[in-house]
Amino acid sequence: MTARTVLVTGANGFIGRNLVPILEARGYVVRRAVRTGATLENDIEVGSIGPATNWEIATAGVDAVIHLAARVHRPNEEHAGELYRSVNAEGTLQLARTAARANVPRFVFLSTILVNGSCTDGKAPFAGKDQFNPRGVYGQSKAAAESGLQRIAADSQMSVSIVRPPLVYGRDAVGNFRFLVKAIRTGIPLPFGLIRNRRSFVSVQNLASFISVVTELETDSNYKTYLVADAEQVSLSDFIRRMGSAMGKSPILVPIPPGLLELAVNATRPGLRDSLLGSLEIDTSAALSIGWRAPFSMDAGLKLALDTSALV
């Protein structure tokens, strides 16, 4: 029996490094798309990702494409909107069109919950059926990619699965998670002691597990959106306390009244209000409906991310 081959973009990145071993354990031959410097047997150099990237060799003969690579964490750079759209939207659609022409059966796209929005205060949890309400250049570029992928799925035989995670945490994670790790480790006071919001998070191990499952899913729908998160949805203050427990540290959480804190955030960094003070709840029923369950609890995921004794 010929081994199945899966093309993974971003295989050397934070999520890809956790996903590739799972795919290999499931019997896949993993073909890694790299910009330059192919060093492994199944590496294929594709150059920069954009609307003109040549994916023909990379997609030839593969059973699935998992597209993780994206531009992220640089929203304030010059021409950010144009660059994000070129890589995350136009680059994604160039890959998907090539894959469809190559008769690739499955395409899995890592999107973001920011396609739904950034806050669920006063609303129902975000769901895959919600209308787009993207936040920031990153969310907007991913929403544009999703719209194009829906059209490609409708016009081809390729099944497209969209995966939207919230904040992904794990060892070597960047962004807000890295900031919180540094604050706890160095004893920087954090003004979130009285925050009682409800937020979704997902460990990189749980996200990688879900992507590996959905890649193999036989479905009667050519296009499906999944929102994936840890089983628990907690307040920011509780998440920080759990981080501290995993690190063997006691985070300094200052009990500042939420109203006063919101005034301060809106006056200085209004763009951070939703991610720090607002709720972000997710309806994961679509992900659970395929039989998947998060293999790690939040505490176990944080231990893997932060406990140095967990290093192997």
Which are the catalytic amino acids? 138
CA–CA separation, 268 vs 253, rounded Å? Answer: 20
CA distance 3 to 311: 31
Residues 6+ apart with CB under 8 A from 131: none
| Distance in angstroms (rounded) separating the CA atoms of residues 294 and 273 | 29
Cβ–Cβ < 8 Å for 175, 116: no
Question: Using CA atoms, how far apart are residues 45 and 179, in angstroms rounded to an integer?
Answer: 33
Q: How far apart are CA 254 and CA 256, in angstroms?
A: 6
Interatomic CA distance for residues 13 and 97, integer angstroms: 24
